[in-house]
Structure formats: structure tokens, C-alpha cells
Structure 1
């Protein structure tokens, strides 16, 4: 390391949580976009005014690596694909022999002409798992090539994973932690704290996030700005920031219930971990400790806690921005006011 790039960081909240994580938790946001702090803070304040706060559900967790083989022809590739998926238990043993934490849980294949793509999905404990799955894939490729001399090595990664790219496969088959965050906000709180109504927020979400994203050609993505919150908390907690590419693919859903607002954010591709590269920096270690992600828990539990907190943070920022955009002029006025205040205090 030859130097450091300082990024302004603020702890925002606390956010009230229920479901798979219970309690109130402040979060660190590292960003040059200073208005993000009060915006997420407004969503956090709303969560504290609701008895259950933001309910978080961790749906699944897995990290993937897709390998590429070549065969003499399509028929050979198809036959090999069927044989490989049938041997998942044997291949799982190959992974277990190379790692104490990696666990093979699924295999998906695609054949294109004479090319065979094999997508391995693994549990990786508290690590995000990039290196762990690549190491596992090397052993799996060696085992497959030994059993299938008709195949040849193509690549350790065939882009069917898919890492740091906006694709459909991650949302369909899963990659990283899949989390849903939701909150039911009484009408009075929507009006007092968000200066809006459930009906207006629901309408805007449909017109902007669903219709607008569709005509833009968005790929499994209907949200206002997940990437803003993801990047800020990824940088503060030592994550690979490039993973916001797939992490920001998610869907915001809003529904009016007797005047109240049901609001949710579904994030199927959160790539986060609490151990591994980037986690040894003192500022990151401090952040993970303050987030309660350094406790003595079963493997994977600390990373699941972090993923749940990240999803709740995304909801806070998404809710606040959409509410602001229901009022003409509010968004720009807020940015100008907050950025000028920051510059004046610098």
C-alpha cells in the first residue's frame, strides 16, 4: 500500500430493526455525497417511530464461480453436463477437502454449441467468498477433467457466475446474500416525517421505479438509488466496492394499506463479508465491531447480520429519496442547502 484516500464518513441512525436482526443499530456511511447522511438519517428516524421498525429477512446465501470447458461437439458437452450434475456429492467432497469453510451446495450448467459452462454455488461462511470459490473451482475443474478426458480447460471463470456485472442469472439463481427489508408506516408518520402520503409514494414508485426502469431497459432492477447506500456502507466496512454493480440490482415495492404505507426493498445480490481482504484495516475493524459483526457466532451469522443491516440502510435512503421526489423542488433544494452547509463548515 502506497497511500490512503480519505473518504468522509458519518455514523447515521440508529435504525430500528426486527426480524432476523433485532434492536437499534447505527451505520457508517463513507461518501463524498454528504446529503446522503441526512437522507438515510430521515429514513432511520421513521424506523424508530414504528414499533417493529424495519423487518429484515435473509432469504439465502451463496457465492458462485462458473468454469468453462470445451468439448469436441455439442452432444459430448451435453452428456458431460448431465454427468457432472449427477456427481454433486462427490464434487462436494473435493471442495471440503480443500477448505474448512467452503461447502458446495448447487451446480448449474449451460451448453452453447460445444462450450460447457458449469456454475458452482458454495456457502462461504462469513467471507464474501470471491477467492474461496475460485480456489474451490480450481479443484473442481481438475477433478472434472480427470473424469472427463473428452473435455478441455476453457477458463476458471466463464462469466456465467456473474461477478461485478449486471446480469439476470444472479437474481434468478442467487449470488451473495439475498435480503428483503420492509416497513409498514402509519399514515400520520408518512405525512409528518416524509411530507407526503402513501398514495403519492406508491404512485411515484410505480411510475418511476417500475415503468421508468422498464423503458430504460433495466435488468432485474427497479429502484431509485440503491447504489448510493451500498457504496457508502461497502467502503466503510471493507467490502469490494465493485460489487455494487450486481448489489444495486433490486426491486422497491410500495403499497397503500388503509392509508398506511407498506414499503420494501428486495436485494437478491448483496456481496458482503465480515472476514477476508480489506477487513484488517483498523477503521474497518472498528466499524464491524460497532455493527455487532464480530461476535462469536456460527459461521456465516456475522455476515448475515451485516447483509441485513445493509438492506435496512438501503431502505432508509430509498424511502427518503422517493418521498422527497413526490414534492416538486424538494430534492434540489435539499441538496443545495445541505451541500452549502457542508462547504461552509469545512
Structure 2
């Protein structure tokens, strides 16, 4: 068996980004981005500069925090599946007692059911402290299933994963019910700032967002997604902070909003599926660069469980906002995007 080795990815600290909101308020924070697409750094850097030119900077609001695991059972028929679902929904305290015996941090906060013939799909929603929660929710579900089978012997085991979660797949359910941290970032950018530093106008950016991100994505058959390139910033941030990078699949299913308000530009990025954590997933296992980064981000503080991970999610969302704003502004100008790539990548 070959020993694991580290693959170096170029990384830069970008910013600082000015932030306000219900998690990070009144701070300017630099963020690490690990990427081979080097034009991403100056693009996010330009967005971070805009944040420092506006009072309060980027307003980031964390609106939800949950991790999910779905399982499925075989019932004799749909009627039996429905009856069991109704009873399970009324026994949430019993289910939570089972969860508490499996994990110190997992807490059951919701249940959702779907039916397909005689199959019963159960989606468990948990809070998971500072962990992203993949293993924690699976462990909880792994303890819940035998308990349910014992209480309802008419059921048969199906699978510990029923894809109604939905993990690392482009689906609608996560955007509707939530999976991970749901963060909305927004800023009202004065017209003169847009013209001077983004080389564009509020009207051109708003029109491009509607026609490209909304209409163009709809023509392409996008699924709960209307943005220019969330995945670029998400991947760079995830790699730099020790996250499971495959979660950019659902993470990039977000919607960008842009409109003109009294001549200024209102710009917002909605990210309902940010799956990040500050513990677990190999963090604290000798990856000193990740540990140093989390400390520098202020995500290694002595806080209530969950608050460090929520801070990390907000900083990630702010990074996405900066890169999204900068790219859309560039694409309002013919040739600007390609000129930047040629200048930075080919002449590097």
C-alpha cells in the first residue's frame, strides 16, 4: 500500500473583506484560496476592495444550519409506510433520545418523508456542532434504523442512504429544505464605486445577471442554480480550509440577485448549501497549514459548539460574493475576461 503524499496547490490570502451581519459583524478578514486558476485571486481581491469602500461592507446573514441523512425502509404497502411515518413524526423525543446515545453533538431538529410505492424514505435533519456532519449524521441514522425496525417490525431494512439527503448531487431538495449552512450575502454599491472600480454601471451588471444567470441558466436546464461561477470560489476556499471538496456540487447551486436601486447597485448571493466544518474531515491530523488557516480566520476560538463553523461558512460566502461581483462586472466589458486570463496565466 502506497503512503499518502501531499499535492501542493497554490494558495494566496486575499482581502481583507469587510463584513457585517448576525455572525461576523464589523470585521475585516483575509481569506485563503487554493487554486490553479490564478486569475481567481485578483478577481476576488477586486471584490474585497469594493467591500471596504461601502459602509458595513458585505452584509452576511446566516439563515439556517442543518445536516441531513436520508434512509429508506420497505413496508408491506403504502398505507403501512404512511402510518409509520405519522407515528415517527409524533415520536421525535424518542428519536432524539436514540441520537443522544450515539453522539454528543448531533441533535435531531426535523423529519421529512417521501413515498414510492411501498418504500418509505425518511430524511433526518440534525445540527452537528462545529463539524460539517457527514459522519455524525450517518452514525445517528445508523442507530436510528435498528430502533425503528424494532419498534415497527412490519418494516424491512432498505439502505442507510436513500439519496433523499441529497449528498453531493445536483438536486432541488437541498435548496428547498436546506443542507449545510444557508447564508445570504448582500451589498448596496454606490454608482460611482461601480463605475470607478468595476469599470461598469449598475444597469449593465443587473441586465447581465438577468440575461446570463437567470435566462441563460434556464435555457441550459439549470437546477436551482443561477450564478456565474460560485464553484470556483467554493472549491478554492474548501481546499484551503480542509473541507470535503465534493460538496461544491450542491454548494454551487445558488442564486445571484442584482438590481438597480435609486441609481445604485444592489447585489446579493444566496448560498443555501454551504457544507463546512472546523473539526473532523482530517482537520487536526497533521495538516498544519489547515490549522494555521483556521486560526487566522478566527475559527479556532473558544465558542459555543457550532459558532466556529458558522463563522467559517459566512467567510466562505463572502469570498463567493467578491468573486461573483467581480466576474459579472468584467463580463459587461468586451474582451476584459480573456485579457485578464492571458495576462495572468500565459505571462505568469
* TM-score band w.r.t. shorter chain: over 0.9
Flag structure 2 segments of 5+ consecutive residues without an equivalent: none
Q: Give the number of aligned pairs.
A: 342
Q: Quick check: 1:171 aligned with 2:183?
A: no
Shift of residue 278, structure 1, vs aligned partner? 2.5
Higher deviation after alignment, 216-225 or 333-342: 333-342
Q: Quick check: 1:123 aligned with 2:127?
A: yes
Query: Secondary structure of 1:65's partner?
Result: strand
> Which aligned pairs between 1:226-245 and structure 2 lie closer than 5 A?
226-245=230-249
Shift of residue 290, structure 1, vs aligned partner? 0.5
| Distance in 2 separating the partners of 1:219 and 1:86 | 33
| Distance in 2 separating the partners of 1:187 and 1:338 | 28
Query: TM-score, normalised on structure 2?
Result: 0.97
1:167-212 CA deviation, whole Å, 9 max, x = no partner? 0100111100000001111000000000000000000000000000
> Which aligned pairs between 1:161-310 and structure 2 lie closer than 5 A?
161-280=165-284, 281-310=287-316
- Alignment root-mean-square deviation, CA: 0.7
Give the one of 8, 11, 21 matched to 2:10.
8
| Distance in 2 separating the partners of 1:102 and 1:2 | 31
Give the one of 16, 41, 62 matched to 1:58.
62
Give the one of 86, 90, 115 matched to 2:90.
86
Give the one of 8, 18, 21 matched to 2:20.
18
> Which aligned pairs between 1:148-163 and structure 2 lie closer than 5 A?
148-163=152-167
1:40-71 CA deviation, whole Å, 9 max, x = no partner? 00000010111110000000000000011001
Q: Quick check: 1:322 aligned with 2:328?
A: yes
Query: Secondary structure of 1:191's partner?
Result: helix
Flag structure 1 segments of 5+ consecutive residues without an equivalent: none
| Distance in 2 separating the partners of 1:236 and 1:288 | 9
Task: State the 4+ residue runs in structure 1 displaced beyond 3 angstroms.
Answer: none
Shift of residue 4, structure 1, vs aligned partner? 1.1
Shift of residue 341, structure 1, vs aligned partner? 3.6
